[in-house]
Amino acid sequence: MKNLSPLFAVILVACSAASSSDTDLKEITETKTPETTVTYEAPATTGRYFGYVPTPSILIFSETRDWRHEEGIVGADLAIMKAAKDMGLGYFTTEHSAIFNEKELAKFDVVVFNNMTGDALTPAQEVAFETWLAQGKGAVLIHGAGDASHKDWDFYHNEILGATFVSHPMAPQFQEARIEVLNTAHPVMAGIGNEFTAIDEWYTFEAPPGDDFIVLAGLDESTYSPVNTVYGDRSDLRMGPKPEDHPIIWAKCHGENQARTVFTALGHRYETYEANEATQILRNALNWTAKKTDAEGQGCR
């Protein structure tokens, strides 16, 4: 692993400290066996003081009740903070799902599910988010927020994510691959060009998202090894010979108020955001979902 810069080191320490203090969980049980068991008592939904939050802002939410992508969370946090400043928006990071209520969500234009995993929200909090999004707001899902641990929340899994995660390579886990931009005219892909290469943990899904999603970029499977011989029932992770067969970035517009959502499978490591393309895509996604760009909604068509 590369040495972290002093700035990243400070952020990593701060985030680690926040993880222990910001999540008021009364019961945590973990075993480090292959059959890992984690049980949680849901946090209270009211009575939590979140402090001052500028309005409007971006909410960066990274609670994890399944696998935790620590480096990806820290890298995305910093990249989003920088983007928010340039957008003239505030930002607030938390791992406490109690912020998903009508009063608190009203402060935000965009919610970023930054590598969120597992059943992080209570049913009431899920409804609060769905109600907020329906007002024409925006959401960005990063990497682990698209894994298989979200199936209990039907709206999130089916309407926002839209695809079911299968696995990722482990031989090796991180590989360089060619990414083809499949919709160069979409605002989320502005300034990216026709293709680029990146190193990440490449997700495979059961199938591409449905026709109501807008696929923006896909993987060229001939440029990496889509194989997992380490665990699971499926070793061959190929989705198809063409990049459109294996999408990794897509968008969707929802309802009468044209709420906007984007998923990107990029973002397992902090090094993701040292590449211009991944950082630009994230910035574009934030601006588009916040409706700072594409006021006429061309990207919804």
**Predicted local distance difference test score (pLDDT) of residue 53:** 85
Residue 167 phi/psi, 5° resolution? Answer: -175, -175
Distance CA 225, CA 170 (A): 9
SS3 state at 66: coil
- Chain-wide mean pLDDT for the chain? 87
**Predicted local distance difference test score (pLDDT) of residue 141:** 98
Domain ranges (residues) in the chain: 6-295
CB 64 within 8 A of CB 96: no
Q: Where are the beta strands (DSSP E) in the chain?
A: 28-30, 38-40, 57-61, 90-94, 108-114, 138-142, 165-167, 175-181, 195-200, 204-205, 214-220, 247-254, 259-264
CATH architecture, domain defined by 6-295: 3-Layer(aba) Sandwich (3.40)
Distance CA 255, CA 259 (A): 7
CB neighbourhood size of 105 (10 A)? 19
Q: What is the mean pLDDT of each run of 10 residues along the chain (301 residues)?
A: 44 39 32 37 54 90 90 96 96 95 96 96 97 98 95 96 96 96 98 98 97 98 96 93 98 96 97 97 98 96 87
pTM for the structure as a whole: 0.84
**Beta bridge partner(s), residue 60:** 93, 112
Radius of gyration of the chain, Cα coordinates, nearest whole angstrom:
18
**Predicted local distance difference test score (pLDDT) of residue 49:** 66
Tens digit of each residue's pLDDT (9 = 90 or more) over 153-192 = 999 999 999 999 999 999 899 999 999 999 999 999 999 9
Strand order in the sheet with 214-220: 90-94, 57-61, 108-114, 138-142, 259-264, 247-254, 214-220, 175-181, 195-200
**Predicted local distance difference test score (pLDDT) of residue 33:** 31
CB 160 within 8 A of CB 139: yes
